[in-house]
Amino acid sequence: MSGKGMNLTLKIWRQKNAQSKGKMETYNVSGISEHMSFLEMLDVLNEQLINEGTEPVAFDHDCREGICGMCSLYINGEAHGPDRGVTTCQLHMRMFNDGDTIYIEPFRAKAFPVVKDLVVDRSAFDRIQHAGGFVSINTSGNTQDANAIPIPKADADKAFDAATCIGCGACVASCKNASAMLYVSAKVSQFALLPQGKIEAKERVLNMVEQMDEEGFGNCTNTGACEVECPKGISLENIARMNREYLSASITKES
């Protein structure tokens, strides 16, 4: 790369709204520093488009610190791009080379309809989480300190690992069936492993899986692409745990 920065060709999905038929548009950007994040590169493009009197590319972003999961883009056929363990906002342009052509698309899934350009509606995840309901904890003034509840460290660690899921949807985007199993299993696991989550455990898993199916997500493919593309490294072990929880709850319900 020269000292003047990278020159890149961007093939970007443009779609006016959910009802419109979208298509790939080609743009050129120059002087891109290898130290820029991917979103900063898109900022440069949008500033260029605005100066040209062209409508900028719509894309989701918020914290730009790998926490919120908003910056969900499909880059060169990979959710969040070619790096591992990062969100799009943490992806740096040093992962690309001068003269590269980069394909940028929204996450593709029936349950994630396109809102505009690279923005998709991921509220299906919210509805699944809402279906999980609540955790019964006495908050009347005599609540027991969580640190005083004996929990095996291995279980606490697994619950914390599951809770790191940021709901970005990379698991859905990387699955050929657009399955949300990894996301739902993470949300089930973070409570199923802890005593505070035991009271509503059976109702929670049944309701969340039912809502997942209603939203139109596909079945698990067992290929493991979701775990590979997940920026938080959520383990497939959670899917196995959710299946056990679901089977147990179903048997109890039938009996």
**pLDDT one-digit tens code per residue, 177-207:** 999 999 999 999 999 999 889 999 999 999 9
What is the domain count for the chain?
2
Range of the domain at 242: 122-254
Does residue 189 lie in a domain region? yes
Q: Do both 145 and 42 map to the same domain?
A: no
Does residue 1 lie in a domain region? no
Mean per-residue pLDDT, 96-120: 97
Does residue 209 lie in a domain region? yes
pLDDT at 109 over 50: yes
pLDDT at 1 over 50: no
Q: Do both 110 and 163 map to the same domain?
A: no
Q: Do both 108 and 168 map to the same domain?
A: no
Mean per-residue pLDDT, 96-108: 98
Q: What is the pTM of this model?
A: 0.92
**Summary mean pLDDT of the chain:** 94
Give the confidence band of 7 by pLDDT, cuts at 50, 70, 90: very high
In the chain, DSSP assigns E strands to 6-14, 23-32, 74-75, 78-79, 101-105, 114-116, 119-120
Q: Do both 64 and 155 map to the same domain?
A: no
Q: Do both 133 and 63 map to the same domain?
A: no
Could you say which of 96, 115, 134 is where a domain stops? 115
Q: Do both 128 and 242 map to the same domain?
A: yes
Strand partners, 73: none
Q: Do both 126 and 180 map to the same domain?
A: yes
Bridge-based pairing state of the strands 78-79 and 74-75 = antiparallel
As a whole number of Å, the end-to-end CA separation of the chain is: 67
Does residue 180 lie in a domain region? yes
CATH number at residue 136: 1.10.1060.10
Q: Do both 88 and 136 map to the same domain?
A: no
